[in-house]
Structure 1
Amino acid sequence: MRHLKLIPSDTKIPFIKFRHIAVGVSILLIVASAVLTMMRGLNFGIDFEGGILLEVATDGPADIGGLRTRLGSLGLGEVQIQEFGEANDVLIRVQTPDEGGNDASQAVINKIKAALGEGVEYRRVEVVGPQVSGELIQSGVTAVILAIVLMLIYIWFRFEWQFSLGSVLALVHDVALTIGVFSFLQLDFSLQTIAAILTIIGYSMNDTVVVYDRIRENLRKYKRMDLGELVDLSINETLSRTVMTSGTTLLALFSLYIFGGEVLRDFTFAMIFGILVGTYSSIFIASPLLLYIGVKRDWSGTGDAKVQQAKG
């Protein structure tokens, strides 16, 4: 029985030849992401920023200017109104009252509904207080850091510390670039985005482990082969599996991005970007880093193991 292979099993693409360029570009992108995030910041969603969010649909095309005028006259503080999806879909975000708790928030919602009048469909109404949003930010950051640390420990026990360091650097690369693109595009950064980042971490690590497994097998099999050639061989041998996994996952994600609606769009975008970056980092970051760090060549436990570095 034949298996479908988008990539021939005997490819000989010289990935390691481009490792200096790939690592250099990645370092520049990570620095750019950090600078951009510090200067421009993230467009935190209501989960993290706190406030009242209403998703409404008007009978006809939304009059954004008119809505700003009507809601601005209510004295509710800063009011953000933006279109999304269809011409009649509108997101309204206002600050939560400093005092009064849920009763005050409900009073604000009632004022907005009265100002909007009839002919408006309310699809979503959310209220998040500032204390809750602060706790959510802390929990989200803790979850991402804990996931990366646990992955480091897992790879350390399964392989060696060199593999662990390489995989974690690749994960940091993926997370940094994902946050950077959200800052650049000012997409809504919410709990859904944190969930997407955690999923990206798991996906990228799984992809990296597949390549690392093949590298470890080949280290046992080809003890005299140049390390650069061995890593190239391992990447090419797993390339078909990598392309198939990433391709099928992206097909599902693109369908969700197109037909899933605005609520899932930022989450799906984060997943699509993360899958692409994670696949790239498994090939051009995690694997080539082994050449810079050096790995044990003798996995049998006998004899003196020498680290053979790739040429160039």
Structure 2
Amino acid sequence: MKTLVNRQLDFMGKRRLAFIMSAILLVIAIGALATQQLNLGLDFTGGTLVEVEYAEAPSLNTIRERLEEAGFRDVSVQNFGASTEVLIRLQQAYDANVGEQVVDLLRDGGTDVNLVRAEFVGAQVGDQLRDQSGMGMLVALGLVMLYVAFRFQYKFAIGALLALMHDVVIVIGIFSLFQLDFDLTVLAAILAVIGYSLNDTIVVYDRIRENIRKSRIEDMPTIFNEAINATLSRTLATSGTTLLVLLALLFLGGDLIRNFSIALIIGVGVGTFSSIYVASALLIPLKLQRQDLIPAQKENDDEEEELP
């Protein structure tokens, strides 16, 4: 038993260092959002979509360079379905002839390419998407807090909510810091991160609650360490296998889901960290006690039953 205990990692003993690391990441993320803001994609800003089809799979970099040399701004080029189908996003006002202009430019040199469609995404639609997506994220966080408060206790809900906000701010801040395109696929990834991080947090919370009810000691850091170590193998296995899939999507999935994969990779890493050092460790300054989970009357009844 002593050997097993000695092998346990002292997560709570390093919580102050973890809090400092989280604070630094949050300051960088918030600073980037305040100074640079997000590099919103066409879904939110409006612009022109041009879909073309080649006879043979083209080089996306060559297409992008040719369009930028012709004066098109904020060009995004990605495969759309088959390798011969290309979707071009141009962040500029729609012109009825823009599709033919793009195709004529790409046909330079005898390349066999045909126009499939050219559409315009209005700025008003982009504004609605931005507002509705932000509201959806806030609603999701609010429902999460209510769920955790109902299932556990309000101190657990506060810890889970702060952990989820921590994850979301860091992911969005990194996209702002490096000016990566923020579009609807990235927003979907952030919502997936919320679900993933919450699931990881719930697993740890379940074990913490179980250990508190079974244990007779009042040393919460020790109880938390035992709970986290008990679920650590499950957490690492889940995170590891998820990251393997996301890395495959990142390197093999193409431009269409590259930023989606990046957001999820960052989110899984940060979410795994926060389930231990934010959601769990915050229960200590929130002064979680056994009495929060075990009614005092029940304990008194047990004591009365033990009397002869």
Give the TM-score normalised by the residue count of structure 2: 0.83
Assess, with a 3 A threshold, how the Cα gap between structure 1 residues 296 and 134 changes in structure 2: closer, same or farther: same
* 2:111 is equivalent to residue 119 of structure 1: yes
Assess, with a 3 A threshold, how the Cα gap between structure 1 residues 25 and 62 changes in structure 2: closer, same or farther: same
SS of the aligned residue for 1:14 comes to coil
Q: Residue 198 of structure 1: CA displacement?
A: 0.5
Correspondences of 1:184-223 after superposition (within 5 Å): 184-223=177-216
User: d(CA) in 2 for partners of 1:272 and 1:180?
Assistant: 14
**Partner deviation per Cα, 1:141-186 (whole Å, 9 max, x = no partner):** 0111111110000001111111000000000000000001111221
Matched length: 283
Assess, with a 3 A threshold, how the Cα gap between structure 1 residues 233 and 136 changes in structure 2: closer, same or farther: same
| 8 Å CA contact 2:18, 2:277 repeated in 1 | yes
1:297 paired residue number? 290
* 2:159 is equivalent to residue 166 of structure 1: yes
State the one-letter code of the partner of 2:180.
Answer: L
* 2:10 is equivalent to residue 27 of structure 1: no
**Partner deviation per Cα, 1:176-233 (whole Å, 9 max, x = no partner):** 0000111122111001111100110011001001100111011111132411111111
1:5 paired residue number? none
Correspondences of 1:1-312 after superposition (within 5 Å): 11-54=7-50, 62=62, 67-70=67-70, 72=71, 79-81=73-75, 91-97=88-94, 105-117=95-107, 119=111, 121=113, 127-298=120-291, 299-303=293-297
SS of the aligned residue for 2:211 comes to helix
Q: Residue 129 of structure 1: CA displacement?
A: 0.7
State the one-letter code of the partner of 1:62.
Answer: T
Give the TM-score normalised by the residue count of structure 1: 0.82
User: d(CA) in 2 for partners of 1:34 and 1:215?
Assistant: 31
| 8 Å CA contact 1:82, 1:92 repeated in 2 | yes
Q: Residue 297 of structure 1: CA displacement?
A: 0.4
User: d(CA) in 1 for partners of 2:257 and 2:78?
Assistant: 12
| 8 Å CA contact 1:227, 1:291 repeated in 2 | yes
Assess, with a 3 A threshold, how the Cα gap between structure 1 residues 273 and 215 changes in structure 2: closer, same or farther: same
State the one-letter code of the partner of 1:119.
Answer: T
User: d(CA) in 2 for partners of 1:195 and 1:65?
Assistant: 29
**Partner deviation per Cα, 1:50-78 (whole Å, 9 max, x = no partner):** 101346678567276654343x3xxxxx6
User: d(CA) in 1 for partners of 2:119 and 2:171?
Assistant: 26
Question: Mind listing any 5+ residue stretches in structure 2 that lack a counterpart?
Answer: 300-308
User: d(CA) in 2 for partners of 1:43 and 1:281?
Assistant: 26
Question: Mind listing any 5+ residue stretches in structure 1 that lack a counterpart?
Answer: 1-7, 73-77, 98-104, 306-312
User: d(CA) in 1 for partners of 2:227 and 2:238?
Assistant: 17
Q: Which moved more, 1:256-265 or 1:192-201?
A: 256-265
| 8 Å CA contact 2:47, 2:89 repeated in 1 | no
Q: Residue 11 of structure 1: CA displacement?
A: 4.4
| 8 Å CA contact 2:46, 2:91 repeated in 1 | no
Assess, with a 3 A threshold, how the Cα gap between structure 1 residues 10 and 45 changes in structure 2: closer, same or farther: farther
User: d(CA) in 1 for partners of 2:139 and 2:33?
Assistant: 21
Assess, with a 3 A threshold, how the Cα gap between structure 1 residues 10 and 81 changes in structure 2: closer, same or farther: same
| 8 Å CA contact 1:11, 1:236 repeated in 2 | no
Identity rate, percent: 38
Q: Residue 113 of structure 1: CA displacement?
A: 2.4
User: d(CA) in 2 for partners of 1:123 and 1:13?
Assistant: 58
SS of the aligned residue for 1:294 comes to coil
| 8 Å CA contact 1:59, 1:120 repeated in 2 | no
